[in-house]
Amino acid sequence: MEDLKPCPFCEGKAKLVMQKDTCGDYLITVKCDICGARIAGYYPRLNDEDGAIEDVLGCAEYAVRDWNRRAGIENGNSSE
């Protein structure tokens, strides 16, 4: 899994988190420690005993990918 980039708003440290939402379902998201910015996140299918671990890992990878995506940067062409 790729490393998390700093927050695009405040350059704060981002972290991958798994938390319960208001309905009691688990949500995997990425959140900034400083300003609280976050992505919408992903809900893993935890009721599938055979695939739960793989689905959690897949959701984590998608969350990191989404967090690291920056507006205006396409096809890997950036000034970074």
SS (H, E, C) 44-61: CCCCCCCCHHHHHHHHHH
Bigger pLDDT: 73 vs 9: 9
Give the model confidence (pLDDT) of 52-64 as tens digits.
999 999 999 999 9
For residue 16, give both structure tokens: 């991958």
Instruction: State the pLDDT at residue 49.
Output: 81
- pLDDT > 90: what percent of the chain? 72
Q: Distance between CA atoms of 63 and 54, rounded to whole angstroms?
A: 14
